[in-house]
Amino acid sequence: MGDQRAKADLYEQFARLGKAMASPRRLELIDLLAQGERSVEDLAGAAGLGVTSCSAHLQVLHNARLVVTRRQGTRIYYSLASDDVARLYGEMREVASRLLAEVEPARRAYLGDDVEVIGREELLRRAAAGEVTVVDVRPAAEYAAGHIPGAISIPIEELAQRLAELPPEIEVAAYCRGPYCVFAHEAVRVLRAAGRGARRLADGMPEWRLAGLPVSAGAPTQAGA
Amino acid sequence: MGDQRAKADLYEQFARLGKAMASPRRLELIDLLAQGERSVEDLAGAAGLGVTSCSAHLQVLHNARLVVTRRQGTRIYYSLASDDVARLYGEMREVASRLLAEVEPARRAYLGDDVEVIGREELLRRAAAGEVTVVDVRPAAEYAAGHIPGAISIPIEELAQRLAELPPEIEVAAYCRGPYCVFAHEAVRVLRAAGRGARRLADGMPEWRLAGLPVSAGAPTQAGA
DNA sequence: ACGATATTCCATAGAATCTTGGATTAGAAC
DNA sequence: GTTCTAATCCAAGATTCTATGGAATATCGT
């Protein structure tokens, strides 16, 4: 009874998941993939990795079945295997922030001083009433892969130049990749510095989607060009 | 903006959790600790590890703040830092079983053929009506650390000799450490072979507790000795 | 204070992981 | 077919992880 071999095999399988999530680089890749599918080179650039290294990490994620691939022409697009992955990753961050005292200082060091927050319900309510402009400050490709209905896309690097596109006197709600992404924090700072009312959504697109709230897809409608 | 250093630090913190859960041995330790606190030597024995090796793994878990220690006399008792850990571990197994095709065969190889299952609600209902005897087939120490109210303790190794303690004609519901523990499977097989009606609770004590159901603690009341 | 027990610390050797650069494969465009 | 691009494969060195045995530490009982 109780084959040691079989038992070890079983735990080995579970550990595959843990091993896949045991590297900060891979967690960053998961974070990026939670925004939508991306090619290897693209991911490497976004995560600051060499292409070879990035590919190797993606193989590890693939072997643990956390990601799936789709080939289109000469490039291969990776995406998360299911919502389970994003959910598990989110849970992992939450548990880490509760258990590890070092998370909070690291968060502050990266995100800077806290900025005011707006909740999902309030955002939905006030957006429907036209009392708030919802702005997606992630790169355009991530907006195209999925965004809050009615949100306009202004990547954080362009925000300072495109303030005129935002109706004045109306508060802005900015959102980005998630609770540990700088973009929304930066956006609120830029907007406040320009004298606008602005808050950030407490978390980002993946959490919004996991909460079952509506999501639109498609490139932004280019009003100007 | 976007300190690479600070960003890497943050992901490094999250990865600490993943690293801690990246070893099959450590997952087995978490599994054991989910039943209740245990000493190092005890854990080493239960997990089939050398004491030194076990201690080292516990250090890793401790550095990731997944476990806490309590000293009593000459020995040190480890336990999970919070329910979050058991919950995350459970979520990890669930995701693994959904994503990794290899989990199911490994499960079958270890647990053997499926035996009939009883759900939590049915168990509660029928136990209250006296229609089912609930039996905890884990080691006595784990029963003492927390068990289903009204359950009697018959460790799996003793079950075959202690069949007389179970009222005949009444179905038995056996439970153990969790959905991937052999004990309840074995118990049902032993009982059925003895002509008794028996089913296993779909999952074990940790899941019962996490579901917010009532738990009793304390050593079994020794009727005989 | 001394011996006994439980645990951790330390050093070592072997295995696994990560990163990098160059070679290789697969598809697209011409 | 040739050429170009994207991604993977392969090999090597550096780093980290794991298991084990012996030494050191802490507590208990006497």
User: Residue B221: its pLDDT value, please?
Assistant: 66
In a domain, A154, yes or no: yes
- Looking at the fold, whether B82 and B14 belong to one and the same domain comes out as yes
Q: What is the DSSP string of A80-115?
A: ES-HHHHHHHHHHHHHHHHH-TTHHHHHHHHH-S--
- Domain CATH for B153: 3.40.250.10
User: What tens digit of pLDDT does each residue of A5-58 get?
Assistant: 899 999 999 999 999 999 999 999 999 999 999 999 999 999 999 999 999 999
With a CB cutoff of 8 Å and minimum separation 6, the contacts of A43 are A29, A32, A33, A49, A54, A58, A78
Answer yes or no: is pLDDT of A224 > 50: no
Confidence band for B178, pLDDT divided at 50, 70 and 90: very high
DSSP A166: S
Give the nearest chain B residue to A187 (CA atoms). B1
Question: Residue range A67-74: average pLDDT?
Answer: 95
In a domain, A97, yes or no: no
Q: Which of residues A87, A120, A140 is at a domain's end?
A: A87
- Looking at the fold, whether A116 and A203 belong to one and the same domain comes out as yes
Chain D nucleotides near the protein (CB, 7 A): 4-10, 17-22, 26-29
- Chain A interface includes B19 (CB < 8 A): yes
- What mean pLDDT value characterizes chain B? 95
In a domain, A221, yes or no: no
User: Residue B219: its pLDDT value, please?
Assistant: 81
- Looking at the fold, whether A125 and A202 belong to one and the same domain comes out as yes
Whose structure tokens read 């179970």?
Answer: B166
- The CB density around residue B207, as the number of other CB atoms within 10 Å, is 20
Question: Residue range B104-108: average pLDDT?
Answer: 96
User: Residue A225: its pLDDT value, please?
Assistant: 37
The residue range of the domain holding B184 is 112-210
In a domain, A180, yes or no: yes
- At residue A66, the 3 state secondary structure works out as coil
User: What tens digit of pLDDT does each residue of A201-220 get?
Assistant: 999 999 999 999 999 998 87
- The CB density around residue B37, as the number of other CB atoms within 10 Å, is 19
- d(CA A219, C1' C28) / Å: 25
- Looking at the fold, whether B11 and B75 belong to one and the same domain comes out as yes
- Looking at the fold, whether B61 and B145 belong to one and the same domain comes out as no
Strand spans (E) along chain B = 38-39, 67-72, 75-80, 117-118, 132-136, 152-153, 171-175, 198-201
How many domains in chain A?
A: 2
In a domain, B219, yes or no: no
Q: Count of A–B CB contacts within 8 Å? A: 164
User: Residue A221: its pLDDT value, please?
Assistant: 67
Answer yes or no: is pLDDT of A223 > 80: no
In a domain, B195, yes or no: yes
Contact present, B109 and A9 (Cβ < 8 Å): yes
User: What tens digit of pLDDT does each residue of B130-161 get?
Assistant: 999 999 999 999 999 999 999 999 999 999 99
Confidence band for B218, pLDDT divided at 50, 70 and 90: confident
User: What tens digit of pLDDT does each residue of A147-204 get?
Assistant: 999 999 999 999 999 999 999 899 999 999 999 999 999 999 999 999 999 999 999 9
- Looking at the fold, whether B118 and B205 belong to one and the same domain comes out as yes
Note if B176 is an active site residue.
yes
Q: Write down the pTM of the prediction.
A: 0.93
Q: Could B18 and A14 be called an inter-chain contact, meaning their C-beta atoms sit closer than 8 Å? A: no
User: CA B85 from chain center: how many Å?
Assistant: 13
User: Residue B224: its pLDDT value, please?
Assistant: 39
- Looking at the fold, whether A125 and A80 belong to one and the same domain comes out as no
In a domain, A67, yes or no: yes
Confidence band for B225, pLDDT divided at 50, 70 and 90: very low
User: What tens digit of pLDDT does each residue of A80-128 get?
Assistant: 999 999 999 999 999 999 999 999 999 999 999 999 999 999 999 999 9
- Looking at the fold, whether A81 and A119 belong to one and the same domain comes out as no
- Looking at the fold, whether A20 and A54 belong to one and the same domain comes out as yes
Answer yes or no: is pLDDT of B105 > 70: yes
Residue among A1, A64, A95 whose CB faces B17 most closely: A95
- Looking at the fold, whether B13 and B69 belong to one and the same domain comes out as yes
Q: Which of residues A87, A103, A129 is at a domain's end?
A: A87
Residue among A7, A15, A103 whose CB faces B13 most closely: A103
- Looking at the fold, whether B81 and B142 belong to one and the same domain comes out as no
- Looking at the fold, whether A123 and A63 belong to one and the same domain comes out as no
- Domain CATH for B28: 1.10.10.10
Q: Could B99 and A107 be called an inter-chain contact, meaning their C-beta atoms sit closer than 8 Å? A: no
For residues B224 and B83, which has the higher predicted lDDT (pLDDT)?
Answer: B83
Answer yes or no: is pLDDT of A2 > 60: no
User: What tens digit of pLDDT does each residue of B7-28 get?
Assistant: 999 999 999 999 999 999 999 9
In a domain, B223, yes or no: no
